[in-house]
Structure formats: C-alpha cells, structure tokens
C-alpha cells in the first residue's frame, strides 16, 4: 500500500505546497475562494482524517465512496495495521467496505503526521472526555493540533468534529495553528462541523445525516461546505464555529434532559404502581407536542453523559449557573444506584437475603443495543456498586467477548463473557438486563432465573412476563 501511495503522489506530481498541487493553467497562485474550492469540486483533494474510531472510520468510508482519496491518521498502531490490511475493527462497519477502499488504492492509514503536508483537508475526530473532576479534557484535541501545526500548508482546510464547548476552535486550535506565522482565513482555513454518528443505527448513516458547518471566515465555510456537501445528503451553514459547537451541545443536552425527566418519572410512577413504559407508549400516540424518550439504568456512550458538562464548565466563565442541565446530570447519574437498591430490595423481599454473597448476571455490557461499544456504559457503574456491596458479578453480551481496556475501569479489563446456556442461567440469584440487545433469549432468562431485573423493558417487548420479572 505504501508503494501504491508513493506511485499515486509521483504520478500526480504531488508537491507539499497545496497552492501548486492544483494550480490553474495560468500558473497564477490560488488566491480566491473558488481556487481553494476547486480540489473539492473535482474530487482531486486528498482528505486526512485524524482518529479512525466510531466517527472517523465511517467518515473515511463516506469520503472514499464519494470519490476522494483518504488518509487515516491514528496513534493506535493496531488500527493503522488493520486498515492497511483491509480489515474492520468496528462491528457495524463491514470488513468488505474497508477492503474495497484499500484495494483500489484510495484509502490508506498512517501514524506519521508529516503526511499531513500531502493532504488538502484535515478532519479531526478525536475524543473529548471529562477529567475525574468532570471538567473538559481537551488534551486529544490540543495534541492533535500541535501534531498538525508543523506540517500546515497554504490552502489547508482544518475541521474539528469533536464535541466541545463553544470557543474551542478559535480559542484553542487557532492560536496553535497560527504559531508558525500562517493566519486563519488567509493562509489556511478553519471550521467546525459536529459529528452526528449513531453507531449501529440501521436507518441513518454518515451519508444520510445533514452536516452542520461553521467557519472561522467565509472562505473556510465555503470550503467545508464544498467537502461535506459532496459526501453527505446536505449541509446546514451557521454563522460561526462557536454556533456550530453550540448546536452539537444543544442536541445532546436536549436528549440528556429528557432522559432525566423520564428517569425521574420512572421512580415516581414505580412508587405508585404505574408502568412508565406503558405510559410512554400511550403518550406517544399524540401526534403533536410529545416526543418519546425512555428510561434506563444510567447514561452511556461518548456523548450524552459527557457533553452537557462542557457547557456547564464554559458557562462559569460568564458567571452563569446551568441549574437545569446539572440537575438532569444528577438524576441520570443516580440511576445505577436506584437499580442496585431495587435489586437489593427484591432479593430481601423474595428470598430474605441481601446483596452480600449474591451472584448477579449482567445482561449487556455495551452502552446501547446491538453494538460492541462500551464507552461510558452504565454497566460498569452497576458492577462497581454490586461488587461494592458484596455481590459477585458476571456478564453476558453477544457483542462483547471480553471487556477491553478502559481508562476508568482497569480492574475489569479482560473479564470474559460467560458462555450462554440455560444451566448457566440457573446458577445466578438474579439477572440484571442493562442493555436490550436483540437476539437474546429473554424467555430463557425468565424461565431459568429466580429474579430478572429489567431496566430496558426488554422482556415485555419480547412478550415475556412473570412474577419473577421486575422492571426497574
């Protein structure tokens, strides 16, 4: 693949200075927005994507499918090696798609950031987690920007897709990129376009989801729209990078607040003997004024548990308290405690015993159904709480053969998924359904386990009921 890449750049008479890579026939340097835009219009632009994970890989394949040559940058040598071998390491991305992209020579991967000098656009798709004090951790964005800066060339389009607080693109990234003397809006172009990936969604893919785009200047906006407009169904231009950053936070805060609402309703209605899922199913028949959200054992994924706190942190700079957002966070983070307390109460009421010494099987370690993604999964908090109260836990997840290494939960790294069998199910005092994967035999659970705690309404949706099945 390296030889194919060298041959391509040789045949294209590739030069590090992008002003000459696609210079007009007049040989005049490119100076107008139209000149900078041309490589994106005729698909001669090479697209660099930093961070080949759940956001970067789908975007790379979408750009390749649109006709671009794509270079994936990642510090993980295993990801780079897998891409070069034409293999997918993300379950919902078909290996054939990666293999086809690599085979025709238009997808490559590297950990060498000097290759940034050979691309027209750099799209940054790196994590933006929280610190242990629930403050923004922009170390991945900063390190990536610092790695790009020495290789910045005239005409480069730099786009951040990572979710962050309003102002990150121009307050954090731009000063780093301008240290070498180049200026945003004159020598290079800076934009923000929030990722909108939903791993495993069978309806909406990267190509079909509109892209919000905000530029640091009008030319940056035009170039970003030219690129994304050729890859996805449509683009939505906003007035600035800060506005685009705020759009992403608003989308995820909307979800976090509404999930907190139904989580609180779950607790209230349970005390009244009312099934919150039945209430929601009936309420959503109203054709206006209501949108269904569903309760659970806690928030998971890289977005909803994290993104709202980026805004609460930034709001403090303006002496503003985001009480509504913070209250939603408190409710959502309390859900694992509520679920564990419910298990303890049920064990005591039914069998006269507590959690100490109990054997609990957690069904579903991934943060959402039908994917292998474990990021911020509430299952880890459930394990911590259950084992902290003296229980022993195992897990079953058809998508996760063993728990991979995580920063937050190193003590469970490598823990294997149990082998499914009805005899095995009978060995547990309770089964806790934390993730409602399709294809799991919930009827067998209800038949074999003395107690099933269902946090996702999975049994009811599968037509399974019984005195030993408890919604929580």
Q: pTM, whole model, 2 decimals?
A: 0.88
| pLDDT of 91 | 87
DSSP bridge partners of 429 = none
Whether 232 is covered by a domain: the verdict is: yes
Looking at the fold, whether 220 and 287 belong to one and the same domain comes out as no
DSSP bridge partners of 393 = 360
Looking at the fold, whether 156 and 273 belong to one and the same domain comes out as no
Number of Cβ atoms within 10 Å of the Cβ of 6: 11
The sign one gets for the Cα dihedral 404, 408, 410, 411 is negative
Helix extents (H) in 173-240 = 174-177, 218-229
- Residue ranges of the chain whose pLDDT lies below 50: 1-30
Backbone angles phi, psi at 456, to 5 degrees: -125, 5
Q: Are strands 107-110 and 69-73 parallel, antiparallel or unpaired?
A: parallel
Q: How far apart are CA 336 and CA 302, in angstroms?
A: 17
| pLDDT of 164 | 96
Say which DSSP state 192 is in.
E
| pLDDT of 214 | 98
**Domain harbouring 20, CATH code:** 3.40.50.720
The pair of structure tokens assigned to 8 is 């391509």
Per-residue pLDDT tens over the stretch 262-285: 999 999 999 999 999 999 999 999
The domain tally of the chain equals: 2
Number of Cβ atoms within 10 Å of the Cβ of 24: 12
**Domain ranges, residue 205:** 2-239
Whether 250 is covered by a domain: the verdict is: no
Looking at the fold, whether 209 and 325 belong to one and the same domain comes out as no
Q: How far apart are CA 54 and CA 323, in angstroms?
A: 31
Looking at the fold, whether 300 and 189 belong to one and the same domain comes out as no
Looking at the fold, whether 102 and 152 belong to one and the same domain comes out as yes
DSSP bridge partners of 46 = 69
| pLDDT of 32 | 60
| pLDDT of 203 | 84
Looking at the fold, whether 299 and 179 belong to one and the same domain comes out as no
Q: Which of the residues are catalytic? A: 303
Q: Of 338, 331, 396, 398, whose CA–CA distance to 363 is shortest? A: 396
Ramachandran assignment for 265, one of left (phi > 0), alpha (psi -120 to 50 degrees), beta (any other): alpha
| pLDDT of 31 | 52
Per-residue pLDDT tens over the stretch 168-180: 999 999 999 999 9
């Amino acid at each position: 693949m390296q030889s194919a890449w060298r041959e391509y750049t040789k045949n294209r008479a590739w030069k590090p200075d992008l002003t000459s890579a696609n210079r007009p026939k007049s040989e005049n340097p490119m100076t107008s927005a139209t000149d900078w835009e041309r490589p994106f219009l005729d698909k001669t632009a090479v697209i660099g994507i930093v961070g080949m994970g759940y956001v970067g890989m789908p975007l790379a394949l979408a750009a390749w499918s649109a006709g671009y040559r794509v270079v994936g940058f990642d510090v993980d040598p295993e990801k780079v090696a897998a891409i070069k071998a034409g293999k997918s390491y993300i379950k919902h991305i078909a290996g054939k798609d990666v293999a086809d992209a690599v085979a025709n020579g238009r997808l490559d991967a590297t950990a060498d950031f000097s290759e940034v000098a050979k691309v027209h656009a750099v799209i940054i798709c790196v994590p933006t987690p929280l610190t242990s004090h629930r403050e923004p951790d922009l170390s991945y964005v900063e390190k990536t920007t610092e790695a790009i800066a020495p290789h910045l060339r005239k005409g480069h389009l730099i786009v951040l897709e990572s979710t962050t607080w309003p102002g990150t693109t121009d307050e954090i990234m731009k000063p780093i990129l301008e240290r070498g003397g180049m200026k945003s809006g004159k020598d290079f172009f800076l934009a923000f376009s929030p990722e909108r990936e939903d791993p495993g969604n069978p309806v909406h893919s990267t190509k079909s989801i509109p892209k919000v785009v905000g530029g640091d200047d009008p030319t940056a906006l035009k170039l970003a729209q030219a690129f994304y407009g050729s890859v996805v169904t449509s683009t939505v231009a906003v007035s600035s990078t800060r506005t685009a950053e705020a759009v992403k936070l608003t989308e995820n805060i909307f979800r976090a607040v509404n999930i907190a609402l139904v989580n609180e309703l779950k607790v209230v209605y349970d005390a009244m003997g009312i099934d919150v899922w039945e209430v929601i199913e009936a309420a959503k028949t109203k054709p206006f004024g209501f949108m269904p959200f569903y309760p659970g054992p806690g928030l998971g994924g890289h977005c909803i548990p994290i993104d709202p706190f980026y805004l609460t942190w930034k709001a403090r700079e303006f002496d503003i308290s985001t009480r509504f957002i913070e209250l939603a966070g408190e409710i959502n983070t309390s859900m694992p405690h509520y679920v564990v307390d419910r298990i303890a109460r049920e064990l005591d009421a039914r069998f006269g015993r507590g959690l100490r010494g109990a054997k609990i099987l957690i069904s579903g370690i991934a943060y959402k159904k039908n994917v292998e993604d474990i990021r911020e999964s509430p299952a880890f908090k459930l394990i911590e709480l259950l084992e902290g109260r003296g229980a022993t836990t195992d897990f079953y997840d058809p998508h996760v053969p063993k728990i991979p290494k995580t920063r937050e939960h190193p003590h469970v790294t490598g823990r294997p998924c149990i082998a499914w069998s009805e005899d095995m199910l009978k060995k547990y005092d309770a089964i806790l359904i934390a993730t409602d994967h399709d294809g799991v035999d919930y009827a067998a659970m209800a038949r074999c386990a003395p107690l099933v705690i269902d946090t996702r309404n999975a049994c009811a949706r599968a037509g399974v009921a019984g005195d030993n099945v408890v919604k929580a």
